[in-house]
Amino acid sequence: GESVGLHLPTLSVQEGDNSIINCAYSNSASDYFIWYKQESGKGPQFIIDIRANMDKRQGERVTVLLNKTVKHLSLQIAATQPGDSAVYFCAEIYNFNKFYFGSGTKLNVKP
Amino acid sequence: NAGVMQNPRHLVRRRGQEARLRCSPMKGHSHVYWYRQLPEEGLKFMVYLQKENIIDESGMPKERFSAEFPKEGPSILRIQQVVRGDSAAYFCASSLTRLAGGYEQYFGPGTRLTVT
């Protein structure tokens, strides 16, 4: 089946620095991508999404970049804060209802 | 406006017993999705339901697992004759529409099933 994977299982950054979390996907037919944040003991929380016909989308302190040529997705978090510490998942969606999640990257923010 | 509710939050079952996991979607949401998450892994899609209908169960094991979303009441994920490999966190999500456009699923806090 299709799969979504992540390059880095853990990422440690200093508070105030920018964070970049990467994700590789395999299905070129995927039409939508989402980044989720999951804190310990909680369900995933929607952060930001991007359609396949876009290259970049910005939210509050977060930016998602999509490179369809190399099937790569990234999440950039500006001025990382301790509250950003969590596991981040990317998900690719196709056929409008099939979600495939990556295994996650744990972000540790050092004070 | 309450979010997606799941209960119980923690469930312990012995091998061979049945596990029933309940999910109440957000108010007004009629689309429910169940996922399983093993430790240190991402979520794996199991089943997608609308009220009284199973839309896509391609991710659900053919045996021992079943799901329903009745006209009234919560969605139920049922696991019969549980085995240790069923130990995982089970997450439910709901959406307002069939995820065409918004693609926002709202996740519940999950039920952590432990099979002893």
Per residue in A61-108, pLDDT tens?
Answer: 999 999 999 999 999 999 999 999 999 999 888 776 677 888 789 999
Residues of B in contact with A25 (CB under 8 A): none
- Which of B14, B76, B102 has its CA nearest to residue A49? B102
Q: Which residue has the tokens 């456009």?
A: B101
Q: Which residues contact B101 (CB under 8 A, 6 or more apart)?
A: none
Contact call for B105 and A99, based on CB within 8 A: yes
Q: Are A8 and A20 in contact (CB under 8 A)?
A: no
Out of A33-37, B18-22, B33-37, the most confident range is: B18-22
| The two structure tokens encoding residue A2 | 């299709």
Confidence of residue A5 (pLDDT cuts 50, 70, 90): very low
CA distances from B25 to A18, A55, B1, B40 (A): 35, 33, 11, 26
Separation of alpha carbons B38 and A85, rounded Å: 20
Distances from the Cα of B55 to the Cα of A1, B68, B69, B84, angstroms: 19, 11, 11, 28
Rounded to an integer, what distance in angstroms lies between the CA atom of residue B51 and that of residue B70? 6
Picking from A43, A44, A96, the nearest residue to B99 by CB comes out as A96
Rounded to a whole number of angstroms, the distance from the CA of A49 to the nearest CA of chain B is 8
Q: In angstroms, rounded to a whole number, what is the distance separating the alpha carbons of residues B46 and B36?
A: 7
Residue A4 has pLDDT above 80, yes or no: no
Chain A positions touching B23 (Cβ under 8 A) are none
Q: pLDDT averaged over chain A?
A: 87
**Closest partner CB to A97 (pick from B40, B41, B98):** B98
Is beta strand A98-101 parallel, antiparallel or unpaired with respect to A105-110? unpaired
Contact A33, A65 (CB under 8 A): no
- Mean pLDDT over each residue of chain B, to the nearest integer: 91
Nearest C-alpha neighbor of A91 from the set B107, B86, B112: B107
pLDDT value of position B4: 94
Instruction: Give the distance from residue B56's alpha carbon to the nearest chain A alpha carbon, in angstroms.
Output: 9
